[in-house]
Amino acid sequence: MIKHDFINYKGNNYSYIYTYGNNDKLVVMIHGLGMDKTGYGNFDILASRLFDAGFDSLRFDLIGHGESSGSSLDLTLEGTLEVLEELLKVCDFKKLYLFGASYGCAVATLYPKTCEKIVLWSPAFGYKKEINNPKTWFVSEFLGEKAIEKIKKNGYANFGITGPKFNMNLINDINRYDPVSVLREKRCDIKIFHGDSDKVESYETSLRLEEMVPNVLVEIIKGGSHCFNDGTSGEVIEKTINFLES
């Protein structure tokens, strides 16, 4: 069955889709900035394939994204974790699996309770260093010093040309987040899929994490763009299923 509904948390309505049957395994999908719970359509396909493989799934819109109300200016990692905790009350499961894309990878890895496995697509873990020393055009243009100057001047900047607004809440979250320390504390297997044509976050960041964290395994997808919004999505979806089933 598919349940498309809302929860209200602290005055905001959060849209979610819960795909479920007689399964005890739940995969929670967390999208990135400027995306929504469909993940460019990839999350919808993944949810269907997960169900066929015996997994229920939950995907939801971040604050100020998709069908969720509120302002993206209020987006924080802590706040998103609180929303996730509330959303899990809607679900019936025994085993939890976490899946993040881009910014959603930070949310997935920061979730404090036990999970079976974690899958990360195009993790945006290099932003902290790249804000001060950009390595990609996108980060330099939209999350670098130019963005910080816009925030100082206008109170906000846009993620992308027409993307959601963000302010120093996002910048401060990025500066506080230490992916190496966070991932080292995890007691589950973590698989990263990263495209070698990613213009938002370099795949080299993921390779460095693999060297530094024993339970992280990275697979580079040839020709893959950021979050695989291209012809490689089918390949990555199948490999994600295979990892979760293994």
How many angstroms separate the CA atoms of 61 and 89, rounded? 16
In the predicted model, what is the mean pLDDT of the chain? Answer: 92
pLDDT in tens, 145-164: 888 899 999 999 998 877 89
**pLDDT above 70 as % of the chain:** 94
Question: Cβ contacts of residue 44 below 8 Å, gap of 6+?
Answer: 38
Examine residue 168 and state whether it is found in any structural domain, yes or no: no
Residue type, 180: V
Between these two residues, 129 and 179, which has the higher pLDDT value? 179
Place of tokens 């899958």: 119
Beta bridge partners of 6: 15
How many angstroms separate the CA atoms of 91 and 85, rounded? 11
Q: Is the pLDDT reported for residue 81 higher than 80?
A: yes
pLDDT in tens, 93-137: 999 999 999 999 999 999 999 999 999 999 988 665 544 455 677
Examine residue 214 and state whether it is found in any structural domain, yes or no: yes
- For the segment 43-51, the average pLDDT, to the nearest whole number, is 98
CATH number at residue 219: 3.40.50.1820
How many angstroms separate the CA atoms of 46 and 57, rounded? 9
- For the segment 75-80, the average pLDDT, to the nearest whole number, is 95
- Using alpha carbons only, give the angle 88, 93, 99 rounded to the nearest 5 degrees: 60
Please classify residue 7 by burial: count the beta carbons closer than 10 Å to its beta carbon, then call 0-12 exposed, 13-18 middle and 19+ buried: middle
Q: Is the pLDDT reported for residue 25 higher than 50?
A: yes
Look at residue 81 and give its three-state secondary structure: helix
Look at residue 164 and give its three-state secondary structure: coil
Q: Is the pLDDT reported for residue 8 higher than 50?
A: yes
Q: What is the model's pTM?
A: 0.94
How many angstroms separate the CA atoms of 10 and 4, rounded? 20
Examine residue 199 and state whether it is found in any structural domain, yes or no: yes
The answer to whether 57 touches 29, Cβ cutoff 8 Å, is yes
Examine residue 160 and state whether it is found in any structural domain, yes or no: no
Q: What is the per-residue pLDDT for 129? A: 58
Examine residue 157 and state whether it is found in any structural domain, yes or no: no
The answer to whether 144 touches 174, Cβ cutoff 8 Å, is no
Query: Which residues of the chain form beta strands (DSSP E)?
Result: 2-9, 12-19, 25-30, 56-60, 95-101, 117-121, 157-158, 165-166, 189-195, 216-221
Residue 49 zone, left/alpha/beta (φ > 0; ψ -120 to 50; rest): alpha
Q: What is the per-residue pLDDT for 175? A: 80
How many angstroms separate the CA atoms of 26 and 95, rounded? 6
Q: How many domains does the chain have?
A: 1
pLDDT in tens, 191-220: 999 999 998 888 988 998 999 999 999 999
Q: What is the per-residue pLDDT for 132? A: 46
Examine residue 141 and state whether it is found in any structural domain, yes or no: no
Q: What is the per-residue pLDDT for 159? A: 86
- For the segment 12-37, the average pLDDT, to the nearest whole number, is 96
Q: What is the per-residue pLDDT for 127? A: 60
Q: What is the per-residue pLDDT for 131? A: 45
Examine residue 42 and state whether it is found in any structural domain, yes or no: yes
How many angstroms separate the CA atoms of 49 and 183, rounded? 27
Examine residue 189 and state whether it is found in any structural domain, yes or no: yes
Between these two residues, 31 and 137, which has the higher pLDDT value? 31
Beta strand pairing status for 216-221 and 189-195?
A: parallel
Query: 44: domain range?
Result: 2-127+177-245
